[in-house]
């Protein structure tokens, strides 16, 4: 598995850098606005960023495993399903925890982070190839 990471190191670092930059930039922008606003609260951006990173690591974990062919073949769908189940599980746990509260908007932020990352991972290499073809 290590040789696959070395082979794709530039791509992995680029995607991770883009995700980290987007998350930090979003948090910085929200801090400039009123943090008490519900739609742009820092909590939702944290959920988005955390599940974006979780999806990133899940996708590449599923990509580089060699034992079960089904996981590698359907890694995109499995990544979204596992990330969604983790997000739903966390919110259901908060429903029964007296010190926490259940919030549907948190689940939407979790799913948005997962879907954003999957789209970025799947379509970024195609876009880069197209730009290289036209020397841009």
- 136: confidence class by pLDDT, cuts 50, 70, 90: very low
How far from each other are the two terminal CA atoms of the chain, in whole angstroms? 33
Q: Which position has the higher pLDDT, 74 or 14?
A: 74
Instruction: Give the pLDDT score at 134.
Output: 58
Instruction: Give the pLDDT score at 85.
Output: 92
pLDDT tens track for 102-124: 878 788 888 888 888 888 888 77
Q: Where are the alpha helices (DSSP H) in 1-136?
A: 2-7, 9-32, 42-64, 69-73, 75-96, 104-133
What value, to the nearest 5°, has the Cα angle with vertex 76 and ends 74 and 79? 105
Q: Per-domain residue ranges for the chain?
A: 2-133
pLDDT tens track for 3-17: 555 566 666 677 777
């Amino acid at each position: 598995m290590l040789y696959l990471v070395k082979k794709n190191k530039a791509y992995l670092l680029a995607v991770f850098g883009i995700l980290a930059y987007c998350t930090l930039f979003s948090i910085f922008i929200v801090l400039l606005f009123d943090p008490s606003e519900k739609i742009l609260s820092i909590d939702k951006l944290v959920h988005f960023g955390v599940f974006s990173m979780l999806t990133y690591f899940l996708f590449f974990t599923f990509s580089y495993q060699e034992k079960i062919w089904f996981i590698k073949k359907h890694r995109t769908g499995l990544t979204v399903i596992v990330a969604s189940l983790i997000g739903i599980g966390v919110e259901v746990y908060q429903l029964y925890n007296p010190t926490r509260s259940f919030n549907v908007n948190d689940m939407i932020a979790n799913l948005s982070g997962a879907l954003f990352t999957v789209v970025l991972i799947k379509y970024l290499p195609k876009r880069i190839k197209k730009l290289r073809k036209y020397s841009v």
